[in-house]
Structure 1
Amino acid sequence: MSYTYQGAQVNYLFKYILFTFNTIFWVAGAGLLAITFWAWNEKGMLNIQSITELKGFDPVWVILVVGLFTFILGYAGCIGALRENICLLKFFSVIIGTIFTVELVAGILAFVFQDTVKEHVQKFVQDNISAYRDDIDLQNLIDAVQKYMQCCGAADPNDWNRNVYFNCSKENTSRERCGVPFSCCLPDPAQNVVNTQCGYDIRSPDKNTIKDSLVIYTKGCIQAFEDWLPKNIYFVAGAFLVIAALQMFSIYLARSLISDIEALKAGWRY
């Protein structure tokens, strides 16, 4: 004769889906944190003073923040599900809910105040153009954006006057004076090796070759992004919907487990 328990039980399917899902994120978060410290070590910046003295935006900070949040949330969701810990599960669901709310509010505000956001983004890019040579990761990021978006500068190539190596002042003795980085140059199919000097003297007043240039991109990256967005709106919207769906599903799993555990504990009292 066999007996089947008919009381409250934890949904083991939800439990192990949440556990597996967050184990992946926990490991990914640890990996991102390792990459952060490796990158700072490679740049000789494993002390607070050197990090705070860095000019411009260090892309490693993005990896650090994302890695830290991913690690903490992965830990809370993984251990909370495995050990059926209500506190960790509530922490997990509240933080995910807060992130979802912040994303939603930020998206609405960015849509409503488009001009203000554009001005701040343009100023942010221009400020980091001035620090182009100060950090290798920032330099690689700007080069990658300019090559992918086929643009140069924030508003136009003359934004590179903000950089001490590329400005056209008489005091600038750099060989890159009145030039732009190689990532601003139009690719030459005939060249197998990247010509890093292709932007030299391109903004020189004597040449006047910026307008309708066949050598470099003349469109600013802000305008290039505005042109790119409508063409890829379905991809962007789809990515946001997938992220939102994963967040809501995670909250649903956590809240379901919390309800099951609380019902199970309530049954123990009687």
Structure 2
Amino acid sequence: MSGKHHHFKGPEVSCCVKYFLFGFNIIFWLLGAAFLAIGLWAWAEKGVLSNISSITDLGGFDPVWLFIVVGGVMFILGFAGCIGALRENTFLLKFFSVFLGLIFFLELTAGILAFVFKDWIKDQLNFFINNNVKAYRDDIDLQNLIDFAQEYWSCCGAHGPNDWNLNIYFNCTEANPSRERCGVPFSCCVKDPAEDVLNTQCGYDVRLKVELDQQSFIYTKGCVGQFEKWLQDNLIVVAGVFVGIALLQVNVCIQFKSCIYIFWQYL
């Protein structure tokens, strides 16, 4: 018997698959870098980066966190997938595949829990909105987010305009010296199509009127109810988006697992 060892050459990696994965991930990586850069730039504009203790001064949710967290995750995953596919590095490919699988599992779990505990989620959404109503004037990004939500869903406050009593500038107490006392933000106002210039004072003193008269000037429905109605009206679209994202994740994950197997044999 010959003492020579026969080296088995594994299957070669398809250039199409390799560069498809590389291209997909470089886009993912660049998007992550863009999100991260926007988040860090916004923090720098607020002075947070020069005074880290100011993070604790934000009473409500800071939308910049969303950019930083999402951008950071996308940047790391994009880097791992991009370099892993280009250099045929099985460690980075495994990291990308496992992390993407974990994200898919967390999304699936969150979807199931959201359906089972929908009443609890509704209470948490109400608590979240009210907390951010209190901090409306504390952060310009938060203010823009609340204004966008109230304009988009034609709503005001969590359950109605009186939720703005939680804010020190809009509450109706006699001790409130603010000109916005007993008012609401302009984003609660019913828009007049004939107006070309936005009237930012349209919500002043509006809650001094009786509720029936308020309906002519502001939205009287809460954002929690309007958001639920929007979800019901767009259930097929929302479900389709989430299913599409899930299928894309599964497909990419399978492709990477296949590449890991091929690269492992090839090395």
If the TM-score is normalised by the length of the shorter chain, which range does it land in? over 0.9
Q: Within the alignment, does 1:128 sit opposite 2:132 as a pair?
A: yes
Match of 1:220 in 2: 222
**Counterpart code for 2:204:** Y
Query: Structure 2 matches for 1:51-130, cutoff 5 A?
Result: 51-130=55-134
Mapped partners of 1:124, 1:52: distance in 2: 17
**Counterpart code for 2:265:** A
Unpaired runs of 5+ residues, structure 2, are 1-7
CA offsets, 1:145-202, max 9 Å, x none? 0000000000111100000000001110100000000000000112111111111111
**Counterpart code for 2:44:** N
Among residues 204, 220, 226, which one is paired with 1:200 in the alignment? Answer: 204
Q: Aligned with 1:203: secondary structure?
A: helix
How far has the Cα of 1:116 moved from its partner?
Answer: 0.6
Q: Aligned with 2:190: secondary structure?
A: coil
The structure with higher relative contact order (CA 8 Å, sep 6+) is 1
Match of 1:37 in 2: 40
Match of 1:240 in 2: 242
Match of 1:160 in 2: 164
**Paired residues, number:** 259
**Counterpart code for 2:254:** Y
Unpaired runs of 5+ residues, structure 1, are 266-270
How far has the Cα of 1:211 moved from its partner?
Answer: 6.4
**Counterpart code for 1:221:** C
**Counterpart code for 1:45:** V
- Pair 184,210 (structure 1): closer, same or farther in 2 beyond 3 Å: farther
Structure 1 consecutive aligned stretches of length 4 or more whose deviation exceeds 4 Å: none
Q: Aligned with 1:191: secondary structure?
A: coil
| TM, length-normalised to structure 1 | 0.93
RMSD: 1.4
- 8 Å contact from structure 1 (residues 57, 128) kept in 2: yes
Q: Aligned with 2:173: secondary structure?
A: coil
- 8 Å contact from structure 1 (residues 8, 263) kept in 2: yes
Mapped partners of 1:22, 1:6: distance in 2: 28
- Pair 256,211 (structure 1): closer, same or farther in 2 beyond 3 Å: farther
- Pair 37,6 (structure 1): closer, same or farther in 2 beyond 3 Å: closer
Farther-moved stretch of structure 1 (172-181 vs 228-237): 228-237
- 8 Å contact from structure 2 (residues 101, 253) kept in 1: yes
How far has the Cα of 1:7 moved from its partner?
Answer: 4.7
- 8 Å contact from structure 1 (residues 202, 209) kept in 2: no
Mapped partners of 1:30, 1:7: distance in 2: 36
How far has the Cα of 1:248 moved from its partner?
Answer: 0.7
Q: Among the aligned pairs, what percent are the same residue?
A: 59
